[in-house]
Amino acid sequence: MKETSLQCLLILISLLSCTTHQARLTVSPSSSQFFEGDFVSLSCEEDDSSAGWTLRRNTSKQQRTQCGDGWGEGAGSSCNITVFLLDSGVYWCESREGPISNMVNLTVTGGSVILQSPVLPVMEGDGVTLLCKTKTTPSNLPAAFYKDGSLIRKQPTGHMTIQHVSRSDEGLYKCDISGHGESPSSWITVTGDTLTCLCFCRFQHSQCDDNLMTVFALF
């Protein structure tokens, strides 16, 4: 009984969050890891452009700097950047009124291998594909994939697919390609699905998932 009312409360909170102004930060190409010199497009997909979303980031050198202020080239809520090592950091969209979007960790490596993994949290039950690639070869080399430091799979084509993601797949992933080296590590987050809420919220707005995820994490 108690649990049910807690669930109701959380559903209510998540529905309310559907109606507030939202933005979602998207990264193109969709990856959390990049090679030095890669071109990356960041964009705040918003449901209300009057909220004036801007892109900001924290790096090891600077906090809360806006796109165009020493990094990136921006117009409104999108930003293009050619990335180098010091561009590694946390990126997010922020509106004048304060709300912030999902946050995204981007890692730029000086090495020659990256792991392409989902930038956004993955829904429980969805499929996910990880790609291990080198800077110089067109890809599809055999790769080994690691989760939380342990070898989980060796794949002849550099792709690893998890068909139905579950909570236990959450963790820190990296890969290596023999003769080329190891990628940095990236965190893959898995969020639960509570169908009714999610369907309702998706129906209302396509951009509210991240608030919901916080709520679902509690279920």
Ligand X SMILES: *[C@@H]1O[C@H](CO)[C@@H](O)[C@H](O)[C@H]1NC(C)=O
Which residues are at the interface with ligand X (CB under 6 A)? 41, 58, 63-64, 73-75, 78, 80, 90, 92, 103, 105, 187
CA distance 136 to 157: 16
CA distance 144 to 155: 6
Ordered alpha helix ranges (H), the chain: 2-19, 195-204, 209-216
- Residues linked to residue 187 through DSSP beta bridges, in sequence order: 172
CA distance 155 to 142: 6
CA distance 71 to 74: 9
- 56 versus 180: smaller Cβ distance to ligand X: 56
Minimum distance from CB of 98 to ligand X (Å)? 13
Residue type, 83: V
Residue 124, number of CB atoms within 10 A of its CB: 17
Minimum distance from CB of 186 to ligand X (Å)? 8
Minimum distance from CB of 103 to ligand X (Å)? 4
- 61 versus 64: smaller Cβ distance to ligand X: 64
DSSP code for 51: G
- 105 versus 157: smaller Cβ distance to ligand X: 105
- 14 versus 117: smaller Cβ distance to ligand X: 117
Q: Are 177 and 135 in contact (CB under 8 A)?
A: no
Minimum distance from CB of 73 to ligand X (Å)? 5
Q: Which among 135, 134, 155 has a CA at the least distance from the CA of 144?
A: 155
Positive/negative CA dihedral, 179, 143, 189, 92: positive
- 75 versus 195: smaller Cβ distance to ligand X: 75
Q: Are 130 and 147 in contact (CB under 8 A)?
A: no
Minimum distance from CB of 35 to ligand X (Å)? 18
- 11 versus 115: smaller Cβ distance to ligand X: 115
Minimum distance from CB of 213 to ligand X (Å)? 11
